[in-house]
């Protein structure tokens, strides 16, 4: 039976939720303060990471943790106040990263990642967005032989456990595949199954345009105004108040404050990342993760995009792009980047849950309220797969995969 549904948040996750529900015949209104795909979904490395069956674990070796605390590397930075405020959630993250727990979480997480490219394919075809997508994988490059050897062993284990495929390229093979590299590297793991996208924000826009062509409605509005209204929900928009029987919170990093106002306390950790584009330099054939330095170089329509690791910072805190400056300096040793495009770097937040799994399902205490957030580094990857799982639950159907590991009630 068709339902009236509000979806709050027009990033990849929210747009896919709205589109999936509209494809199933529901009357859906998508609400955001900005046009679709202009926040976190715009700023990522543009990779649909089918290989990412293992969520990022908290470092457990004392040397690695000390390196993070002293900010010795480029992969992690933090604001002291934000780090102190996040300590209880980081402690839960650390506990969840213990080897036995992490293996169990990985098995659950991998069940969702397994559908990432197939669910995107369905929407890419319907949205006529194939021109944005390449299906040639991407590479993790390693500077030291020890790190490369460890990566080869891990890639083999993941292939055996989860069927993700890759090829190990020695230093000479990598140099032939990417002749623009100035430095010799120990080697690279070329993951075969991921897709890369030349304009991540444009892919979200294509999905949103399809949603509207199918009769879905997009409107500018204040998600923070969400409140119960009779047997349903109400939100304020540029077109006036909008009411519906169901509401989906898919606001990424802003989901925490909104759900807190409704009485929920999810252990969300915000990891901020930066990017900047460069033009006029040498080109890469495929995106490249400089694995021992913690940044990605990805060919995009706007130029070569450099994206950074994680920064622990309060929502909307002033930018401190130390990682970006350091990554740019290291990347220029590896490749001729050319000139920066933007005068000011872009910054956005990844909403990470302490147990490394997204929150997908019904709100425990509010009928008609649904959650779809907390995808960490993989919201762009998991938008369509999460949307299908959420829609199955809203419709009361047998879900296409076990929803239990992702339910909000686990907290």
| pLDDT at site 70 | 85
User: What pLDDT, in 10s, does the model give residues 204-216?
Assistant: 999 999 999 999 9
Q: Is 380 a residue whose pLDDT tops 80?
A: yes
- State whether residue 226 is helix, strand or coil: strand
Tell me how far apart the alpha carbons of residues 108 and 50 are, in angstroms, rounded to a whole number.
14
| pLDDT at site 397 | 95
Q: Is 143 a residue whose pLDDT tops 80?
A: yes
- State whether residue 139 is helix, strand or coil: strand
Mean pLDDT on 39-47: 88
| pLDDT at site 279 | 96
- State whether residue 322 is helix, strand or coil: helix
Sheet holding 246-249, edge to edge: 240-244, 232-237, 217-229, 27-32, 4-8, 246-249, 369-373, 359-362
**Residue 182 pLDDT level (bands cut at 50, 70, 90):** very high
| pLDDT at site 68 | 82
DSSP 8-class letter at 19: H
Burial of 236 (0-12, 13-18, 19+ CB in 10 A): middle
Largest CA distance in the chain: 67
| pLDDT at site 5 | 98
Sheet holding 133-134, edge to edge: 47-48, 195-197, 133-134
Q: Is 120 a residue whose pLDDT tops 80?
A: yes
Q: What does the H/E/C string look like for 87-134?
A: HHHHHHHHHHCCHHHHHHHHHHHHHHHCCHHHHHHHHHHHCCCHHHEE
Of 315, 314, 337, 316, nearest to 325 by C-alpha is 337
**Residue 132 pLDDT level (bands cut at 50, 70, 90):** very high
CATH match of 4-59+99-132+195-268+354-406 with 3.50.50.60: yes
| pLDDT at site 62 | 85
Show Cβ contacts of residue 163 under 8 Å, excluding neighbours closer than 6 positions: none
Q: Is 1 a residue whose pLDDT tops 80?
A: no
Indicate the domain borders of the chain: 4-59+99-132+195-268+354-406
Q: What is the overall mean pLDDT for the chain?
A: 96
User: What pLDDT, in 10s, does the model give residues 24-35?
Assistant: 999 999 999 999
| pLDDT at site 339 | 97
pTM more than 0.85: yes
Tokens of 10: 């027009």
Of 310, 292, 294, 298, nearest to 335 by C-alpha is 298
Distance of CA 165 to the CA centre of its chain: 21
**Residue 66 pLDDT level (bands cut at 50, 70, 90):** confident
DSSP 8-class letter at 10: -
Q: Is 43 a residue whose pLDDT tops 90?
A: no
Question: How crowded is the C-beta side of 63, counted as CA atoms within 13 Å?
Answer: 0
| pLDDT at site 2 | 84
CB-based contacts of 152-155 (< 8 A; 24+ apart in sequence): 152/189, 155/189, 155/191
Q: Is 304 a residue whose pLDDT tops 80?
A: yes
Mean pLDDT on 259-268: 97
**Residue 65 pLDDT level (bands cut at 50, 70, 90):** confident
Show Cβ contacts of residue 107 under 8 Å, excluding neighbours closer than 6 positions: none
Q: Is 95 a residue whose pLDDT tops 90?
A: yes
Mean pLDDT on 216-234: 95
**Residue 47 pLDDT level (bands cut at 50, 70, 90):** very high
Residue predicted with more confidence, 219 or 42: 219
**Residue 67 pLDDT level (bands cut at 50, 70, 90):** confident
Tell me how far apart the alpha carbons of residues 120 and 206 are, in angstroms, rounded to a whole number.
12
**Residue 64 pLDDT level (bands cut at 50, 70, 90):** confident
| pLDDT at site 325 | 95
**Residue 59 pLDDT level (bands cut at 50, 70, 90):** confident
| pLDDT at site 294 | 95
Of 26, 218, 194, 205, nearest to 121 by C-alpha is 194
């Amino acid at each position: 039976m068709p339902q009236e549904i509000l979806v709050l948040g027009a990033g990849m996750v929210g747009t896919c939720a709205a589109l999936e529900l509209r494809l199933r015949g529901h009357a859906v209104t998508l609400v955001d303060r900005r046009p679709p795909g202009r926040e976190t979904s715009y700023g990522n490395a543009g990779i649909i990471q089918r290989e990412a069956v293992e969520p990022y674990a908290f470092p457990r070796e004392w040397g690695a943790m000390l390196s993070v605390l002293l900010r010795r590397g480029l992969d992690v930075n933090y604001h002291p106040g934000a780090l102190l405020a996040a300590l209880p959630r980081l402690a839960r993250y650390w506990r969840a990263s213990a080897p036995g727990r992490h293996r169990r979480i990985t098995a659950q997480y991998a069940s969702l990642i397994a559908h990432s490219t197939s669910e995107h394919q369905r929407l890419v075809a319907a949205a006529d967005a194939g021109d944005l997508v390449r299906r040639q994988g991407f590479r993790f490059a390693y500077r030291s032989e020890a790190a490369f050897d460890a990566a080869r062993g891990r890639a083999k284990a993941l292939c055996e456990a989860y069927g993700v495929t890759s090829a190990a390229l020695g230093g000479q093979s990598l140099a032939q595949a990417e002749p623009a590299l100035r430095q010799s590297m120990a080697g690279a793991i070329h993951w075969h199954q991921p897709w890369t996208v030349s304009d991540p924000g444009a892919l979200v826009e294509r999905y949103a345009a399809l949603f509207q062509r199918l009769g879905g409605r997009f409107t500018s509005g204040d998600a923070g105004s969400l409140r119960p209204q009779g047997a349903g929900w109400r939100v304020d928009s540029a077109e006036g108040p909008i009411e519906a029987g169901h509401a989906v919170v898919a606001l990424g990093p802003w989901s925490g404050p909104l759900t807190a106002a409704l009485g929920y306390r999810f252990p969300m950790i915000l990891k901020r990342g930066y990017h900047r584009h460069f033009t006029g330099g040498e080109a890469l054939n495929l995106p490249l993760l400089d694995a021992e330095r913690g940044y990605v170089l990805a060919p995009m329509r706007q130029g070569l995009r450099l994206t950074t690791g994680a920064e622990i910072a309060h929502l909307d805190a002033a930018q401190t792009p130390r990682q970006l400056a350091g990554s740019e300096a290291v990347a220029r040793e590896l490749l001729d980047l050319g000139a920066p495009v933007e005068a000011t770097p872009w910054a956005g937040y990844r909403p990470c849950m302490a147990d490394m799994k997204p929150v997908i399902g019904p709100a425990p205490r509010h009928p008609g309220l649904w959650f779809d957030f907390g995808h960490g580094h993989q919201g762009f990857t998991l938008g369509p797969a999460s949307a299908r799982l959420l829609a199955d639950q809203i419709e009361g159907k047998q879900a296409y995969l076990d929803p239990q590991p992702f339910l909000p009630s686990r907290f």
